[in-house]
């Protein structure tokens, strides 16, 4: 993918230029409800750093940023009460992955069975 676009929607949310329905925040991570939820719980977890994708994040994030992202997924799933029954975490990457917003984000989707992993 190309370099980080500072005008992507999630960068604007991080700068406070557009609102979000915040669920969790710490030094490295922001999480908010997806604007078009696909299940009873649909939350996006994003790093505060300017990473385009999981490819970028995996290669360039600090250990603290990586740990915080995964710890936030766990905290949120437990706080929302979906960890026990299970949930899906999805990260779309690039064109083939169907990534619409070029700031790395992890979808947390649950609260009901979420169906097949990919379209047949």
What are 96's two structure tokens?
């083939």
Distances (CA, A) of 106 to 77, 96, 120: 12, 17, 23
Any catalytic annotation for residue 42?
no
x/- map, 6-25, ligand AMP, by CB under 6 A: ---x----------x-----
Q: DSSP readout, 51-113?
A: --SHHHHHHH--HHHHHHHHHHHHHHHHHTT-TTT-EEEE---HHHHT--SSS--EEEEESS-
CB of 10 to ligand AMP, least distance (A): 8
Could you give the 3-state DSSP secondary structure of residue 1?
Answer: coil
Q: Does 34 bind ligand AMP (CB under 6 A)?
A: yes
| Cα 40 to Cα 102: distance, rounded to the nearest angstrom | 25
Interface with ligand AMP, residue 36, by CB under 6 A = yes
Q: Identify which of residues 82 and 109 has a Cβ nearer to ligand AMP in the complex.
A: 109
Active-site residue, from 42, 103, 105, 107: 105
Considering only residues 98, 113, 117, 120, which one is a binding residue for ligand AMP as defined by CB under 6 A? 98
The verdict on 92 binding ligand AMP (CB under 6 A) reads yes
Residues that bind ligand AMP (CB under 6 A): 9, 20, 32, 34-36, 44, 92, 98-101
- Residues catalogued as catalytic: 105
């Amino acid at each position: 993918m190309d370099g980080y676009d500072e005008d992507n929607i999630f960068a604007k949310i991080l700068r406070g230029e557009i609102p979000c329905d915040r669920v969790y925040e710490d030094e490295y991570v922001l999480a908010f409800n997806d604007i078009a939820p696909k299940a009873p719980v649909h939350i996006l977890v994003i790093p505060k750093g300017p990473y385009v994708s999981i490819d970028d994040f995996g290669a360039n994030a600090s250990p603290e940023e990586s740990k915080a992202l995964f710890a936030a997924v766990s905290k949120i799933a437990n706080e929302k009460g979906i960890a026990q029954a299970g949930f899906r975490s999805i990260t779309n990457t690039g064109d083939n992955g169907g990534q619409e917003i070029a700031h790395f984000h992890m979808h947390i989707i649950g609260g009901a069975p979420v169906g097949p992993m990919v379209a047949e």
